[in-house]
RNA sequence: GGUGGGGUACCGAAGCGGUCAAACGGGGCAGACUGUAAAUCUGCUGGCUUAGCCUUCGGAGGUUCGAAUCCUCCCCCCACCA
């Protein structure tokens, strides 16, 4: 058995662990679980740390169990939340759980003999409880002073937004999940983000009290970037693992754009590269930063895992074409291929004939600019390009002579944001 | 319930009868330099049919030639007292 906590430690993935967790995990194969909130039908890059946590557990010989909070998702976890949550419907939760399982399959092996990953849904056991039984059998073991002392509860009680009884009860449900998994699947370790520490230790306490059992908790750090801003957001919002929500191209670009200061850290977090390989990249970042070898390796590794070799290839082709600069060598078919990853809109071929259509009108149909005033300013500021040629006239018109092979016009704002306009009809 | 302070654009925060689409800072966007990085510097940052016009300063009325600024009522926050 390799020591999984040692592995997590050098990768910077270990934030805290309950006493004895390291020895417990080093001793023999265990079952480890992490809960995922089914608030959306897709996971996003913010979930990658816990996912990688499970990956490391499986590689070390433990059995990873992903719990989808079908029951708890109906309640909502107050941890790290400033306001009461919207409640999800049961149908939402069920559908979202299915999406999450498909994505986890890219990371975890669900077929591997001894320690295949498993997926469980806490709705399966939480739904069976009656309120009276739950209060008698589970609630009885929780002291109010301990519950009130939890950071997530304290901060919400102090704020004007308050905390409903529903969300307050969340810790009981999560604790009970741990107990249930301890009993039915012999799960002895729960992992999660550092914000889950309170919920996890509440679970280990419950197991000790009710079953006199030993259970452990391991938590990962919250990922930040060197700017101290939130990780996992791009200009278009969350970066999702679902290619329908975030195209492989944009996903790849998200990683390529990682700061130098964060690149090595992210390689440790999000890839399975060895210590030696990562050290080599660290040296490259220092000696020849302009090559951006670490960022490329990071983007390549993560994109391949999430979107497959095929998705990676398409993302890289698009990148080469777009950042190579010159579009003139590309035919319409190449363009269509490359830009399949990029947002697009259509215009009728008729509209482009003669005087064509005002660029401002064309931009109205895109998400490149938020208003005509915004579009005007972008052009005046020299930040707008047609077919990679800077536009210097606010009243620029786009005609059929701009359309490559009569089919496509490429709009670009700034260095990186592209939009493809297809002529139809 | 009483007293005092306050609600201004994405956020923080000035302004307290005209020169206010509203200082300044942050954030965001773009440009320059670079390496699709960071830092730095520059410009922009309500909408539109853009030398002009329209809608904004908690809400509704009012005074005035003219209101974010004055008055009335209402709503909401904060502090202290009860």
Residue-wise DSSP of A225-269: -TTSSBTTEETTEE-BSSTTTS-HHHHHHHHHT--HHHHHHHHHH
Same structural domain for residues A381 and A411?
Answer: yes
Residue A159, pLDDT > 90, answer no
Q: How far is the CA of A386 from the C1' of B51 (A)?
A: 28
For residue A317, name the pLDDT band (cuts at 50, 70, 90): confident
Report the predicted TM-score, pTM, of the whole model to 2 decimal places.
Answer: 0.85
| Lowest-pLDDT choice from A89-93, A192-196, A410-414 | A89-93
Residue A87, pLDDT > 50, answer yes
Q: So what's the pLDDT on residue A328? A: 67
Domain extent, residue A90, equals 4-220
For A168-226, the three-class secondary structure string (H helix, E strand, C coil) is HCHHHHHHHHHHHHHHHHCEEEEEEEHHHHHHHHHHHHHHHHHHCCCCEEEEECCCECC
Chain-wide mean pLDDT for chain A?
87
A37-53 pLDDT, tens per residue?
887 788 888 889 999 99
Q: So what's the pLDDT on residue A185? A: 93
Last residue within a domain, chosen from A297, A321, A345: A321
Residue A227: inside a domain: no
Residue A417, pLDDT > 70, answer yes
Same structural domain for residues A31 and A155?
Answer: yes
Asked whether residue A62's C-beta has any atom of DNA/RNA strand B within 7 A, the reply is: no
Residue A161, pLDDT > 50, answer yes
In chain A, residues 64 through 123 whose Cβ sits under 7 angstroms from any atom of nucleic acid strand B? none
Residue A411: inside a domain: yes
Average pLDDT over residues A282-307: 94
Long-range contacts (CB closer than 8 Å, 24 or more residues apart) made by A230-233: A231/A45, A231/A46, A232/A44, A232/A45, A232/A46
Query: Which string of DSSP letters, residue by residue, matches A293-323?
Result: HHHHHHHHHHHHHHHHHHHHHHHHHHHHHHH
Bridge partners, residue A64, by sequence = A32
Q: How far is the CA of A353 from the C1' of B8 (A)?
A: 48
Same structural domain for residues A195 and A340?
Answer: no
Comparing A361 with A75, the larger pLDDT belongs to A361
**Nucleotide closest to A369 measured between CA and C1':** B29
Residue A260, pLDDT > 50, answer yes
Name, in order, each residue with C-beta under 8 angstroms of A198's C-beta and a sequence gap of 6 or more. Answer: A79, A150, A151, A152, A171
**Nucleotide closest to A385 measured between CA and C1':** B30
Same structural domain for residues A183 and A64?
Answer: yes
Last residue within a domain, chosen from A220, A255, A285: A220
CATH code of A413's domain = 3.10.290.10
| Lowest-pLDDT choice from A158-172, A194-208, A390-404 | A158-172
In chain A, residues 315 through 354 whose Cβ sits under 7 angstroms from any atom of nucleic acid strand B? 319, 323
Mark the nucleotides of strand B covered by protein, meaning any atom under 7 Å from a CB: 28-32, 34-39, 43-50, 77-78
Residue A187, pLDDT > 50, answer yes
Distance CA A11, CA A14 (A): 8
Distance CA A251, CA A88 (A): 27
Same structural domain for residues A204 and A291?
Answer: no
**Nucleotide closest to A296 measured between CA and C1':** B36
| Lowest-pLDDT choice from A264-268, A327-331, A332-336, A401-405 | A327-331
Residue A160, pLDDT > 70, answer no
What total of structural domains would you count in chain A? 3
- Percentage above 70 pLDDT, chain A: 89
Q: So what's the pLDDT on residue A322? A: 82
Residue A62: inside a domain: yes
Distance CA A425, CA A421 (A): 13
Among residues A87, A174, A70, the alpha carbon closest in space to that of A123 is found at A70
Q: How far is the CA of A160 from the C1' of B75 (A)?
A: 17
Distance CA A130, CA A322 (A): 59
Residue A327: inside a domain: no
Same structural domain for residues A271 and A211?
Answer: no
Asked whether residue A244's C-beta has any atom of DNA/RNA strand B within 7 A, the reply is: no
Q: So what's the pLDDT on residue A327? A: 72
Average pLDDT over residues A52-69: 94
Residue A249: inside a domain: yes
Backbone phi, psi, residue A396, to 5°: -50, 135
For residue A234, name the pLDDT band (cuts at 50, 70, 90): low
Query: Which string of DSSP letters, residue by residue, matches A68-111?
Result: E-TTGGGT---TT-SSPPPPPPHHHHHHHHHHHHHHHTTTS-SS
Last residue within a domain, chosen from A165, A192, A220: A220
Q: How far is the CA of A424 from the C1' of B63 (A)?
A: 60
Same structural domain for residues A312 and A347?
Answer: no
A319, A256 contact by CB (below 8 A): yes
For residue A82, name the pLDDT band (cuts at 50, 70, 90): very low
Same structural domain for residues A61 and A178?
Answer: yes
Residue A244: inside a domain: yes
Question: Does the model's ipTM exceed the 0.90 cut?
Answer: no
Same structural domain for residues A166 and A292?
Answer: no
Same structural domain for residues A237 and A264?
Answer: yes
CATH code of A251's domain = 1.10.240.10
Beta strands in A317-395 (DSSP E): 344-348, 357-358, 384-386, 389-390
* Other CB atoms within 10 A of residue A208 CB: 13
Same structural domain for residues A183 and A237?
Answer: no
Length of chain A: 425
Highest mean pLDDT among A4-13, A80-89, A311-320: A4-13
Asked whether residue A24's C-beta has any atom of DNA/RNA strand B within 7 A, the reply is: no
Residue A69, pLDDT > 90, answer no
A337-348 pLDDT, tens per residue?
777 777 889 999
**Nucleotide closest to A378 measured between CA and C1':** B30
CATH code of A111's domain = 3.40.50.620
A96-130 pLDDT, tens per residue?
888 899 999 999 999 988 899 999 999 889 988 99
Same structural domain for residues A30 and A167?
Answer: yes
Distance CA A294, CA A301 (A): 11
Residue A363, pLDDT > 60, answer yes
């Amino acid at each position: 058995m390799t020591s999984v906590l040692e592995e997590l430690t050098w990768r910077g993935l270990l934030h805290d662990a309950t006493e004895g967790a390291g020895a417990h995990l080093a001793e023999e194969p265990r079952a480890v679980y992490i809960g995922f909130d089914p608030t959306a039908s897709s996971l996003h890059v913010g979930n990658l740390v816990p996912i990688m946590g499970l990956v490391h557990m499986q590689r070390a010989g433990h059995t990873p169990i992903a719990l989808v909070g079908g029951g708890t998702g109906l309640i909502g976890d107050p941890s790290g939340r400033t306001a009461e949550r919207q409640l999800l419907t049961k149908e939402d939760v069920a559908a979202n759980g299915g999406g999450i399982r498909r994505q986890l399959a890219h990371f975890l092996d669900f077929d591997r003999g001894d320690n295949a990953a498993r997926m469980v849904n806490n709705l399966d056991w939480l739904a069976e409880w009656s309120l009276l039984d739950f209060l008698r059998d589970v609630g009885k073991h929780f002291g109010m002073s301990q519950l009130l002392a939890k950071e997530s509860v304290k901060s919400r009680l102090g704020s004007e937004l308050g905390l409903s009884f529903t969300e307050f009860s969340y810790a009981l449900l999560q604790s009970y999940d741990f107990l249930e998994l301890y009993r039915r699947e012999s799960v002895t370790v729960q992992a999660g983000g550092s914000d889950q520490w309170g919920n996890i230790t509440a679970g280990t306490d419950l197991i000790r009290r009710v079953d006199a059992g030993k259970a452990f908790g391991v938590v990962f750090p919250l990922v930040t970037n060197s700017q101290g801003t939130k990780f996992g957001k791009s200009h278009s919002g969350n970066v999702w693992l679902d290619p329908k929500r975030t195209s492989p191209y944009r996903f790849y670009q998200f990683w390529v754009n990682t700061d130098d200061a964060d690149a090595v850290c992210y390689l440790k977090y999000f890839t399975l590269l060895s210590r030696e390989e990562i050290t080599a990249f660290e040296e490259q970042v220092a000696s020849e930063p302009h090559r951006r070898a670490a960022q490329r390796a990071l983007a390549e590794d993560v994109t391949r895992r999430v979107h497959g070799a095929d998705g990676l290839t398409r993302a890289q082709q698009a990148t080469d074409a777009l950042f190579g600069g010159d579009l003139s060598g590309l035919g319409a078919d190449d363009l269509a291929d490359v830009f399949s990853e990029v947002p697009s809109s259509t215009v009728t071929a008729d509209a482009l004939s003669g005087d064509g259509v005002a660029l401002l009108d064309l931009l109205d149909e895109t998400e490149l600019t938020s208003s005509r005033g915004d579009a005007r300013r972008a052009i005046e500021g020299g930040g707008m390009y047609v077919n990679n040629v800077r536009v210097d006239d606010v009243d620029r018109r786009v005609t059929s002579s701009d359309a490559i092979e009569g089919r496509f016009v490429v709009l670009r704002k700034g260095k990186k944001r592209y939009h493809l306009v297809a002529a139809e009809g």
